[in-house]
Structure 1
Amino acid sequence: MSDYPVIHWNEKGEEKTARWRSESGTPPPKRVMIADDRMTADAAYRLACEGTALLWRGDFHNARQLLQAMARRAAEKPRKQKAKKTPATPAQAFHLHRMAQSQRARTLGMLLLPFDADHSIPLRRAPDVSQACTDAYGGATEPYVASLRELQGLIGAYEWRKNGVEIPALGARIHPHYGVFAPTRGEYVDLVNEAPLPALTATRSIAFDIGTGTGVLSAVLARRGIQRIIATDQDRRALDCARENLARLGLTAQVEVVQADLFPEGRAALVVCNPPWVPARPSSPLEHAVFDPDSRMLLGFLNGLAAHLEPGGEGWLIISDLAEHLGLRTRAELLAAIDAAGLEVAGRLDVKPHHPRVSDTSDPLHAARAAEITSLWRLTAKRD
């Protein structure tokens, strides 16, 4: 743990230090003070907004209640700002929403917890979170400090991993690891399950799954009869997650999981990619599954696809048009990128998302989400 930064605070007249852990990449707070059950929500919220972190020494459940109270106060601020002015464009609304989310995360992340070297929390009524912390952090060799809000994320991810996500196309569950995008939006999985396989796969039954994540699309292709699939990812957690899911489903003989930046060596009859859908900069490492700065992965996939397709093969790009409704990318720009990569559109399958946020009228991005369509673009290399 010597690579982790150190935070400093004064407690009972003594200077104290501890390692700082943050999987979201948040830097250690510069000002830390001790807080306990006597701290009011108003005082805690004010100090957090001013940049002072609160290291909790009271009852664990009281810390949770305090964080909830701070969250209610954080929710009041955007409502007051919204009443003052309305964003002029969808892109402006998106950027303001991201700024508000970032500020909220910073403020709520200021309530800190102490952890012992075995991931236990030395507070009254603290739950056993050792397995959730081990899954996300790995082992620890000394005490450390982390935010209560991050711990809640770790516990939520642990429950997802333990219980899994039901995938109707597989008739089975996929178990996402911490930091790996969970396939809770089933429409993109259904598209891959329903799209007609290229005729070439009847004689050349090999596919690539680019950016495999949990391995769910590789599993779907394997269940559809593709005999050999190479699934790639750069992230260690994703690679471990995909291997574990595929082993649980009994598909390791068909699917090989390899670490690679986009494409493996060789060519395939089918190349599938579901890149992050929004061309914006992630505010933490955990957001890379959602945000693709400068459309790096999307353009990397398109520009490398033709060279990795067998003659007569297809590339399947699964992507939402949410970025178009947010004013972050136009349909013309997407089509121009496809053309510039030496590709043609052989067909497209569309589906309307059905996740809960589509009908959430309180969401600042509701208009864009309500209009969203997820598409599977069937791409082929241009003929000479």
Structure 2
Amino acid sequence: MSRAPRTDASPEGPNPSTSSSAPPLDSAFTWHSESSEPAPARLSPVNDRLSADTALKRVRRGEFLLYSGDFHNAKQLLGALSRRLPRPAKARSPLEAFRAERRARQLEHETLSRIVVSLDRDYRLGLARAPDTSLACHQVWGASTTDTTVVPLKQLLGMLGAAEWRRKGLAVPGLTGLLHPHYGVYLPTRTDYVELLNSVTEVKGKRVFDIGTGTGVLSFILLQRGAASVQATDCDSRAVACSQENAERLGLGKRFQVAEADLFPKGTADLVVCNPPWIPEPPKNRVDRAVFDEDSQFLRRFLEGLSASLAPGGVGLLLLSDLAVLLGLRPPGWLEAEFERCGLSVQWARSTPARHSKAKDASDPLHMARSRERTTLYCLKPVSP
């Protein structure tokens, strides 16, 4: 919970009919941000009369603009602000393009996150033409403990989109039944790694560890193909809740266990499967952790601990994109050197080209690398003494 010392008056102040959506002067409010940003010291009320040019000037001065007015106008303001931000210059290399794109995305996040809205104790949004936000917020945050919650509008929109995915479910190739992803858990819309896992034939009766389970999709595919049991782990509580709920929905709850843990559960398994974050860069927020792994720490520790988690005759299944190599973030041969350092041998490897939309989008700043991206499934065993 955060205390708002003041709510500043503004030339673009709220209309009388919508001012109730702003926290009262000096009221306490709960602040939510995926980036762990501190709560605003003050909120500046604005409404539909605010132009995008004026908004950009004010957020660049460090203001947090508390929007009260029309919901669709608020969304249009976010779009207009985004279009006014500088675009990365043409890069001379994939690495330069990657760095420029990350800086641009960070600037966009810092700018758009200063357009905020307030919700009441039931997480209702008091803007005209606003959708029902209560369910989406309860799913992510649980019950409110204060009368007012303040959140960046951009984040709230992401939560609403995730709630819709969770409601209708997602079809995944090779999975019987729908997957229902939660907000903040990596959405498995890329199917290349799932298809590679489906090529593994020796599954029946195996005891499995799934490291960094996310939605649990890899666990569920293996269980539906005859694996005896899965013990899954994830460092994010939202992934733990998501995978547990999906296991129950799919009728796999009796053979699936999940715990919030760092890497391996206790004991050993016949199969240890992992689809780790593939970009060795620092994550900038909680959601980033599914993709970004600073200095490859997660991947290194997985490889270092794999042998001790394998039962006699067991194997590790590592799914990894080579995008980091194509971007120049890892040198060629780095992964093979890590296998050797950790006493692991590659029994076999199978690869497939990336099929996601960005791999085909020539306008994407990273198209030069993404168009050549491949995902590989490595079958790993400890080197015999």
- TM-score scaled by length of structure 2: 0.91
- Checking the alignment, whether the CA contact within 8 Å between 2:30 and 2:149 is kept in structure 1 is yes
Once the two structures are superposed, residues 211-270 of structure 1 have per-residue CA deviations (whole angstroms, 9 ceiling, x without a partner) of: 111111111111111112211122211111111111111112222222321111111111
Partner of 2:289: 288
Point out the more displaced range, 283-292 or 41-50: 41-50
CA distance in 2, matches of 1:359, 1:49: 35
Partner of 2:151: 146
Offset at residue 96 of structure 1 (A): 1.6
Offset at residue 30 of structure 1 (A): 4.6
Partner of 1:272: 273
CA distance in 1, matches of 2:4, 2:282: 27
Partner of 1:35: 46
Q: What is the correspondence of 1:172-211 to structure 2 with a 5 Å cutoff?
A: 172-197=177-202, 205-211=206-212
Whichever residue aligns with residue 301 of structure 1, its letter is F
State the secondary structure of the residue aligned to 2:258: strand
Partner of 1:5: 2
Whichever residue aligns with residue 115 of structure 2, its letter is L
Return structure 1 stretches of 4+ with deviation > 6 angstroms: none
- Checking the alignment, whether the CA contact within 8 Å between 2:9 and 2:45 is kept in structure 1 is no
The reply on whether 1:368 has 2:369 as its aligned counterpart is yes
Once the two structures are superposed, residues 110-144 of structure 1 have per-residue CA deviations (whole angstroms, 9 ceiling, x without a partner) of: 11111111101122222210001111111112112
CA distance in 2, matches of 1:233, 1:262: 7
CA distance in 2, matches of 1:301, 1:147: 35
CA distance in 2, matches of 1:360, 1:25: 32
Partner of 2:93: 89
- Checking the alignment, whether the CA contact within 8 Å between 2:353 and 2:374 is kept in structure 1 is yes
Partner of 1:252: 253
Offset at residue 330 of structure 1 (A): 2.2
The reply on whether 1:167 has 2:168 as its aligned counterpart is no
- Give 1:55's match in structure 2, choosing from 53, 63, 66: 66
Whichever residue aligns with residue 340 of structure 2, its letter is D
Offset at residue 58 of structure 1 (A): 1.7
How large is the Cα RMSD of the aligned pairs?
1.8
Whichever residue aligns with residue 346 of structure 1, its letter is Q
- Checking the alignment, whether the CA contact within 8 Å between 2:174 and 2:198 is kept in structure 1 is yes
CA distance in 2, matches of 1:174, 1:250: 12
CA distance in 2, matches of 1:122, 1:254: 44
Structure 1 residues 34 and 264, CA, compared in 2 at 3 Å: closer, same or farther? same
Aligned residues: 370
Once the two structures are superposed, residues 310-342 of structure 1 have per-residue CA deviations (whole angstroms, 9 ceiling, x without a partner) of: 222110000100000111112311111111111
Whichever residue aligns with residue 145 of structure 2, its letter is T
Once the two structures are superposed, residues 11-42 of structure 1 have per-residue CA deviations (whole angstroms, 9 ceiling, x without a partner) of: 45995343322133233345532211111111
The reply on whether 1:16 has 2:13 as its aligned counterpart is no
Partner of 2:130: 126
Once the two structures are superposed, residues 36-91 of structure 1 have per-residue CA deviations (whole angstroms, 9 ceiling, x without a partner) of: 111111111222233222111222222122222212222xx11xx51xxx434322
Whichever residue aligns with residue 187 of structure 2, its letter is A
Structure 1 residues 8 and 94, CA, compared in 2 at 3 Å: closer, same or farther? farther
Offset at residue 192 of structure 1 (A): 0.9
- Give 1:100's match in structure 2, choosing from 104, 116, 124: 104
Offset at residue 307 of structure 1 (A): 0.9
Unaligned ranges ≥5, structure 2: 11-23
- Checking the alignment, whether the CA contact within 8 Å between 2:7 and 2:42 is kept in structure 1 is no
State the secondary structure of the residue aligned to 1:261: coil
CA distance in 1, matches of 2:136, 2:5: 26
Whichever residue aligns with residue 59 of structure 2, its letter is A
Offset at residue 195 of structure 1 (A): 2.2
Partner of 2:306: 305
CA distance in 2, matches of 1:41, 1:258: 45
CA distance in 1, matches of 2:213, 2:106: 28
CA distance in 1, matches of 2:254, 2:50: 57
- Checking the alignment, whether the CA contact within 8 Å between 1:211 and 1:232 is kept in structure 2 is yes
CA distance in 1, matches of 2:111, 2:384: 55
- Checking the alignment, whether the CA contact within 8 Å between 1:6 and 1:20 is kept in structure 2 is no
Whichever residue aligns with residue 16 of structure 1, its letter is D
Identity percentage of aligned residues:
43
Once the two structures are superposed, residues 88-117 of structure 1 have per-residue CA deviations (whole angstroms, 9 ceiling, x without a partner) of: 432222122111100011111111111111
Whichever residue aligns with residue 280 of structure 1, its letter is E
State the secondary structure of the residue aligned to 1:166: coil
Q: What is the correspondence of 1:69-84 to structure 2 with a 5 Å cutoff?
A: 69-74=80-85, 77-78=86-87, 81-82=88-89
